Structure 1
Amino acid sequence: MVSTKPERRAAREAVAGYHQAQLALLVERVGAAVDRYRAGELDAFDIDHVIFQYSRAAKELWKFCNLADVETTANFIRECPPDDWWERGAPRKR
């Protein structure tokens, strides 16, 4: 099925909105951890771990939003949006 220009634009906007909203959730986690570090609840290694996990999660989110056809991604977001990108960025346990 060939989509129209407005349909492609709407799909791009949907994916961009999803990406921004999910990225904001990831950034909030980092911000909360930095606040805990400043309060003395976490040490530098803890923050390093949080930033590392953020980096991995943001990369996975970026891949999801950018590597497939935008209309396919938009449909997937509408029908079954992936969640918990934070956990997807967690280092694998050995």
Structure 2
Amino acid sequence: MASKAERQAARDCVAAYHEARLGELLEHVGRALDRFRAGQLDAFEVDAVIHQYHRAAQRLWTFCGESSAQVEAAAHLIEDMAGAGEVIDWWQRGMSARARRAEGPDA
């Protein structure tokens, strides 16, 4: 069983990860809005980006967990991935099934 300090460290680790990844996801929305304002995207294209953000943010939220056990498991996984130089592409995970099919198996 983890100590109180270890549980707090896990919560801090996951919170920092969650905030950083949300910031990355929001950058996609910001760029889409900038392109909309510049006349490069229409409202429907921006709406699709917002939906992808929403799906990605939901998956990220689920990964980060709500219970202490989930948070501790996520913290260990985050640390293991960082040590191995691995990242989860949350934006990609937020793609709709239709968009994933359109990209094909080699994407």
* TM-score interval, normalised by the smaller of the two chains: over 0.9
Size of the aligned set, in residue pairs, is 93
Higher relative contact order (Cα pairs below 8 Å, separated by 6+ residues)? 1
2:90 to 69, 85, 91: 85
In the alignment, what sits opposite 2:73?
Answer: 72
Deviation at 1:83, TM superposition (A): 1.5
5+ long unaligned stretches in structure 2:
102-107
5+ long unaligned stretches in structure 1:
none
| Paired AA for residue 38 in structure 2 | A
User: How does the TM-score come out when normalised to structure 1?
Assistant: 0.93
User: How does the TM-score come out when normalised to structure 2?
Assistant: 0.82
| Paired AA for residue 14 in structure 1 | C
| Paired AA for residue 70 in structure 1 | V
- Pairwise CA RMSD: 1.3
Deviation at 1:72, TM superposition (A): 1.0
Q: Which segments of structure 1 move beyond 3 Å, counting only runs of 4 or more?
A: none
In the alignment, the residues of structure 2 paired with residue 72 and residue 66 of structure 1 have an alpha-carbon distance, to the nearest angstrom, of: 9
Q: Deviations over 1:6-47 (max 9, x none)?
A: 000000000000000000000011001100000000001100
In the alignment, the residues of structure 2 paired with residue 8 and residue 74 of structure 1 have an alpha-carbon distance, to the nearest angstrom, of: 10
